[in-house]
Amino acid sequence: MEKFEVKKAMTRPINRKLVLRENKYFLMFAGIAIIGFLLFYLYPIIRTLILSFTNKGFGPYYDYVGFENYIYALSKDKLFGAAIGKSLIFAFISGTLVLVTSLMLAMLLNSKVKGIGVFRTIYFLPFIIPSFAVGAVYKNIFNPSNGVVNALLRLFGVAEEELPLWYAGPDTALATMIIISSFGFGVKMLVFLAALQGIPKHYYEVADIEGASKARQFFKITLPMISPMTFFNIILITIDGLKAFSLAFVMGNGNGWPANSTLLFPIYMFTTAFSDFKMGYAAAMAWLFFLLILALTGIHFLISRFYVQKDLY
């Protein structure tokens, strides 16, 4: 009887008016997003791929050159490899600092402290401030001549000739950017905080009864339970670090100053396209960089099998 009713329901004629009305509402609500995706995402992607096989410059005319741009980037352009290397160093070190800092702060904010909501807001504020503004503020703070940091070092007796040049020195500029970027833990901290709040409390209660130390609880309960969110944060941090632009642009005056020490790959790609007007070559660089990020993301997915634990609840 039930099979007959199901079969009968499946053979009923489709209400075309209802389908058309539902499609109309779908297009009304999703149409703007679809048009925006096509114009501002899909078209630029296709356009960039086409330009990467040309010698497109400032003028309207260009010729197709095949894979010449890709070959030149991989075999002849020394700045290409140097910029990639600086971006990888920046992403790895700053990403590690952000991951550790965001987890530590999330654990602090997860504790029952009076006025904890105020602290959560304060820690998240740097994230909502535009990156260019943050870079300008830190540029004043780390100013070698009259910055707050060097002023404090003078108070502690550091000699004038021993004061670091920070972003003004080729040996310390990248390290300065890494230090500043380590404060960009806003979203990652919230992701960890949400994961920590989702851990059942009775796990810790049982561990306390068994006499497990806080350190053992952290490594045996906390880390395994938040491992999926740790993986998610690692992906975010890797991508954010590799495509970092605003801070490097402000600190390095938009051209990798001093002595290309802040020439991260996005900065090099930007100057190639809009200062040297080598649009075709910059497009090829963008696609090579995309393939690098895709490869690193794939490696993260493979490695995640060894530390991400599922079905823990």
Q: Is residue 7 part of a domain?
A: no
Contacts 24+ apart (CB under 8 A), 146-152: none
**Domain containing residue 198: CATH number:** 1.10.3720.10
Range of the domain at 167: 79-306
Residues 129 and 197 in one domain: yes
- Other Cβ atoms less than 10 A from the Cβ of 267: the count is 23
Residues 86 and 37 in one domain: no
Residues 244 and 196 in one domain: yes
Q: Is residue 6 part of a domain?
A: no
Q: Is residue 73 part of a domain?
A: no
Quote the number of domains for the chain: 2
Residues 33 and 170 in one domain: no
> Tell me: the pLDDT tens digits for 297-313?
999 999 999 989 876 65
Residues 25 and 135 in one domain: no
Q: What is the mean pLDDT of residues 189-217?
A: 92
Residues 159 and 47 in one domain: no
SS3 64: strand
Q: Is residue 216 part of a domain?
A: yes
Q: What is the mean pLDDT of residues 180-201?
A: 89
Residue 185 is predicted with a pLDDT of 83
> Tell me: the pLDDT tens digits for 251-261?
999 999 999 99
Q: Is residue 227 part of a domain?
A: yes
Q: Is residue 30 part of a domain?
A: yes
Among residues 6, 36, 51, which one ends one of the domains? 51
Residues 98 and 21 in one domain: no
Lowest mean pLDDT among 2-11, 111-120, 269-278: 2-11
Best CA proximity match to 281, nearest among 74, 85, 40, 88: 74
Looking at residue 14, the DSSP 8-state letter turns out to be P
